[in-house]
Structure 1
Amino acid sequence: MKIYNTNAEIGCRILLLLGSVKGPCSVERLSYYDYFSLHLNDLIDGCEGLHPSNPNHSSEIIIKRKTIKNAITYLISKGLLTVVYSASGFKYKNTNLADRLIELLDNTYSLKYKKCVIEVDKFFRDMQDDDITKYVRNNIGKWVGQFESERD
């Protein structure tokens, strides 16, 4: 039975993420926030990420969008997310049911994840999605190299 990177696992992180930031988020922002919340040390030097560094972990960014979209579809089908339509595209926010559900997610991992989300949001809060994408493109090579230097 698969337990990692399932729609349910990623969906829980999306719900926690949306419960920790102000306002609805696009797929792009959800993808970047989730990645950096798991690998906070890629964003803020000296901060411990929830997931360990491994070779090419930054490649997760490439597949993150697809896994986030699949989890969003799953959450919508369960009545936990709603779509917000705007001139800038689709954004997503938790339903009241989701807000009640995340109150129950009070384990160590969930609490650490929410703290990491808050740090990521502080870093990117005032940036548009396109600016976050540019930031990632300009820095992704550093994260790959960072792991290599940590191993030496």
Structure 2
Amino acid sequence: MSQGRKSITFNSPLEAGIRAVAILGAAYPQSYDLQRLVAFDYLLVHTADVGGPDNLHPPTPMHSAELLVRRKLVEQALLLMMTRDLVKREVTSDGIKYAAGENATTFLSSVSSLYLLALKDRASWLIEVLGNHSDEEFKCVMRRLFDKWVEEFQQVEQGLGGEA
């Protein structure tokens, strides 16, 4: 990497788009709204947080902050993947949802790096475990994670001399 360039590894629209295609490919023909895809994008690389395989990405302090910045990134990612027919947008009676596009299967079958193969495996696991949860069931899963993050935040605050 050249000096002066800021690394944004794992956080570009392309990288988030590949994660979205992996999720939607594993879920096909199911479609999801943006909110669910933002949560899935986080959970895909942090599967151990919900009792799954080892995390793809190293642990980071303050997980909740990581989740908060994903919405815009996932929106950009979906738009990018739509330009290549890897994702399609559907207008349903429940709102706007996203599904695997016409080229998703071909794209996913062509990946061969260890990281991308691990990503596909975790996407399949994630969809198998959480993909068919109702909105309410999924909110309960995310609420439990949020409660853990609140505890994490309070521990950091106490360590800095704050009150809990």
Task: Give the TM-score of the pair, scaled to structure 2.
Answer: 0.77
Residue 83 of structure 1: aligned partner: 89
Residue 107 of structure 1: aligned partner: 113
Structure with a larger share of its residues in helix: 1
- 1:136 matched to 2:142? The reply is yes
TM superposition shift of 1:17: 1.3
Residue 94 of structure 1: aligned partner: 100
Residue 40 of structure 2: aligned partner: 33
- Contact kept? 1:28, 1:129, Cα under 8 Å: no
| CA distance in 2: counterparts of 1:64 and 1:129, whole angstroms | 19
| CA distance in 1: counterparts of 2:131 and 2:97, whole angstroms | 15
Q: Which 5+ residue runs of structure 1 have no aligned equivalent? A: none
Residue 65 and residue 133 in structure 1: after superposition, are their counterparts in 2 closer, same or farther (change >3 A)?
farther
TM superposition shift of 1:69: 0.7
Provide the secondary structure at the position in 2 that maps to 1:52.
coil
| CA distance in 1: counterparts of 2:119 and 2:103, whole angstroms | 20
Q: Which 5+ residue runs of structure 2 have no aligned equivalent? A: 156-164
In structure 2, what residue type is equivalent to 1:38?
V
TM superposition shift of 1:138: 3.6
| CA distance in 2: counterparts of 1:15 and 1:141, whole angstroms | 29
- Contact kept? 1:82, 1:93, Cα under 8 Å: yes
Residue 71 of structure 1: aligned partner: 77
| CA distance in 1: counterparts of 2:33 and 2:23, whole angstroms | 12
CA deviation string 1:103-127 (max 9, x = no partner): 2112111111122122222332331
Of 13, 16, 40, 2:22 maps to 16
Large movers: runs of 4+ above 6 Å? none
Task: Give the TM-score of the pair, scaled to structure 1.
Answer: 0.82
- Which has the higher mean CA deviation after the structures are superposed, 52-61 or 138-147? 138-147
Of 58, 63, 84, 2:64 maps to 58
| CA distance in 2: counterparts of 1:129 and 1:105, whole angstroms | 31
| CA distance in 2: counterparts of 1:32 and 1:63, whole angstroms | 11
Give identity over the alignment, percent: 25
In structure 2, what residue type is equivalent to 1:59?
A
Select the structure with the greater relative contact order (CA < 8 A; seq sep ≥ 6). Answer: 1
Provide the secondary structure at the position in 2 that maps to 1:37.
helix
